[in-house]
Amino acid sequence: MSAGAVAVELGSARLRAIAAVPARHGIQVVRTLVSNVPADLDRSNDQAVGSWIGESLREAGFRRDKCMVALPREDAVLKRLTHPTSDRHELPDMTRLAMERDLPFSAEDAIIDFVILDSSESSTTVLAAALPGETLARTHRIMGAAGLSVQGVSLRACGAAAIADSIGDPDSDVIAIDLIPGDGIEFTFSRNGTARFSRAARIGESDEDEMVSAAIREAQRTWLSRQMDDDQAGIHAGVVLGPDGVVDRVAAKVGSLLKTPMELIDSHPRIDAGKHRLDRHWSLAGLLLAQQTSSDMIDFASPRQAPDPLAGRRKAAGYAVAGLLLVIFAIWTFGGMSINALQGKAYSLEAHQGRLRPEFLRYTRDNYRLGHLDLWSSAEVDWLAHLGHLDSLRPAAADLVLDEVSGSLQFDGVIRDRSKEWLAEWGLGLTLNGECRDRATADAFRERLVDNASYTTSSAGNDTGGGNRLPHGFTYRLISDIDNPIDAEAQTGGDP
């Protein structure tokens, strides 16, 4: 993850996504998203699903980055295999042969990847994973319709294992329980940040009590399944990932059931979450962290392959052919050029430049003149707009009457400043003479003028009594550099 990356999981009920960038010790989260899948979305239409995902990500501020796609445990077949070899070049073919025997789908199109768990001088133990080829193809179609480039396709369990590694002991297993309401629950046993056993089950989200009961029931079944595993180690600790309000109850009950201390993750030493809550995104953040730190994990987009013994020879031959073609092309290019033709073209261009120079200078001069005239005509004031704006600030006519409104324009012409730029500075002044019912009304009107950003307001002396129509008289002076306060107010969405 040299730049930014996005991890995406489309569950049966919700779309979850997280965007992160590399940080000094891991990753920094910059965006998160949880969106309910529309009830009318046709899940069989890859283009429609991808378009909806892309639109949801764009509305949440996600960029069209490379993405890591997380798949649920139930989409893949997991099996731990021990091969009688320590040669890593032999592992891809041996793993494929062993996995193809018992797959519940077509082995011909299966995508098979593995991670090494243990090795000795005579054997190697791997965790192998198989995915239907159509599932991977559909993932590429959907992400392509969403405008994303698939960089990796892994299991959500691998992300949970990466998160659990922060509390793990090298000699013991750690259990990670990843609870996603509406999409299911996954139990992953890992060691040194690598998943070694995983089981998943679907649970609903009708209410918290039912989710907790279902989680405990599936934890018991998972524990019984693990007892049949021949690769058991002591469980050092456990972690529960999921929404607040449920995980604490699940952690307490599962910890009591397994007699194992269970932790709730609210931060990670290598993940800077900032202001973002990751209670529904920890496994996705774990996948991006594993990718950033180049940790071993299942990746169906780039499964491990046996080395090609002829690849080196083909690459060397390709380089030789490319180099030969480059030399031939250079000789042909430079040999076909004529120095006399190039000099003649240069002379022709110089002559053409000389003919165009007077026209260019005339255009430049006219452009400066027009700019200067524009500055002279820039001092234009919409007096009617100012009168209308003042009328909108005035109290009711029965309470306040403007006897006289006089205005003046201060404009000293176009001047040149120290930076040799032309400036046209101007301002306008308004004098308001009027009378009102009482002093409080005059003060309220003056307060409106002072609060309005279009004017700088001052009184022309003490307010007086004895108006012609109303008992209290006033005179206010206003200064402004706005030609149309109504337009300025419309542009700012409030008082200019």
Token representation of residue 135: 């599932």
Residue 412 banded pLDDT, cuts 50, 70, 90: confident
Asked whether the predicted pLDDT for residue 229 surpasses 70, the reply is: no
CATH number for 5-292 (one of 1.10.3720.10, 3.40.50.450, 3.30.420.380, 3.40.50.300): it is 3.30.420.380
Nearest to 247 by CA among 289, 285, 219: 219
Please give the full DSSP string across 157-188, using - where no structure is assigned: HHHHHHHHGGG--TTSEEEEEEEETTTEEEEE
Strand partners, 28: 21, 272
Best-predicted range by mean pLDDT among 150-159, 304-313, 338-347? Answer: 150-159
- pLDDT above 70: residue 231: no
Q: What share of the chain is helix, strand, coil (3-state, %, to 5)?
A: 40, 30, 30
Tokens 């059931």 belong to 257
CATH class of 383-492: alpha beta
pLDDT for res 155:
96
Confidence band for 464, pLDDT divided at 50, 70 and 90: low
From 189, 128, 198, select the one nearest 164 (Cα to Cα): 189
Mean pLDDT score, 442-450: 88
Nearest to 238 by CA among 302, 168, 191: 168
Higher local confidence (pLDDT), 188 or 258: 188
Phi and psi torsions of 58, nearest 5°? -65, -40
In the three-class reduction of DSSP (H, G, I as helix; E, B as strand; rest coil), residue 128 is classed as strand
pLDDT at 232 over 70: no
Q: Which has the closest alpha carbon to 449: 422, 475, 423?
A: 475
Pair 375, 417: CB distance under 8 Å? no
Residue 200 has pLDDT above 60, yes or no: yes
- Statement: residue 494 has pLDDT above 60: no
Q: How far, in whole angstroms, is CA 482 from its chain's centroid?
A: 40
The SS3 call for residue 155 is strand
Helix (H) or strand (E) holding 210: helix 208-227
* Per-residue pLDDT, 153: 97
- Of all residues in the chain, what percent carry a pLDDT higher than 90? 41
Mean pLDDT of the chain: 87
* Residue 409 banded pLDDT, cuts 50, 70, 90: confident
Please give the pLDDT value at position 308: 64
473 has pLDDT over 90 = no
User: What contacts 421, CB < 8 A, 6 or more positions away?
Assistant: none
Is the pLDDT score of 16 beyond 60? yes
Q: What is the pLDDT of residue 233?
A: 67
Rounded distance between C-alpha atoms, residue 145 and residue 48, angstroms: 8
CA dist., res. 290 & res. 284, Å (int):
10
Asked whether 272 and 28 are in contact (CB, 8 A), the reply is yes
Burial of 259 (0-12, 13-18, 19+ CB in 10 A): exposed
Q: Quickly state the pLDDT bin for 357 (edges 50, 70, 90).
A: confident
Note the pLDDT tens digit of each residue in 23-60: 988 999 999 999 999 999 999 999 999 999 999 999 99
Taking a C-beta distance cutoff of 8 angstroms, is the pair 19, 30 a contact? yes
Q: Is the pLDDT of residue 251 over 60?
A: yes
Answer whether residue 467 shows pLDDT above 70: no
Question: In this structure, what are the phi and psi dihedrals at residue 393, rounded to the nearest 5 degrees?
Answer: -85, -15
Least confident of 175-184, 258-267, 273-282, 311-320: 311-320
pLDDT digits (tens, 9 = 90+) for 369-384: 887 777 777 777 888 8
Position 463 scores a pLDDT of 59
pLDDT at 417: 73
Tell me which of 89-98, 237-246, 422-431, 484-493 is least confident: 484-493
Q: How many CB atoms lie within 10 A of CB 345?
A: 10
Q: What is the pLDDT of residue 166?
A: 80
Label residue 330 by pLDDT band (50, 70, 90): confident
Residue range 114-137: mean pLDDT, rounded? 94
User: Quick check: 283 pLDDT over 80?
Assistant: yes
Q: Which residue has the higher pLDDT, 299 or 453?
A: 299
Please give the torsion angle defined by the CA atoms of residues 300, 306, 310 and 316, in that order, rounded to the nearest 10 degrees.
50
Q: Show me where the domains of the chain are located.
A: 5-292, 383-492
Find the angle CA(127)-CA(232)-CA(99) to the nearest 5 degrees: 25
Q: CA 204, CA 207: separation in Å to the nearest integer? A: 8
Check whether 1 has a pLDDT greater than 60: no
Task: Quote the pLDDT of residue 454.
Answer: 84
Q: Where is mean pLDDT largest: 100-104, 286-290, 292-296, 444-448?
A: 286-290
What pLDDT is attached to residue 493? 62
Three state DSSP letters for 349-413: HHHHHHHHHHHHHHHHHHHHHHHHHHHHCCCCCCHHHHHHHHHHHCCCCCCEEEEEEEEEEEEEE
The mean per-residue pLDDT over the stretch 222-229 comes to 80
pLDDT of 137-174, one tens digit each? 999 999 999 999 999 999 999 999 999 988 767 667 89
Report the C-alpha gap between 155 and 287 in whole angstroms: 9
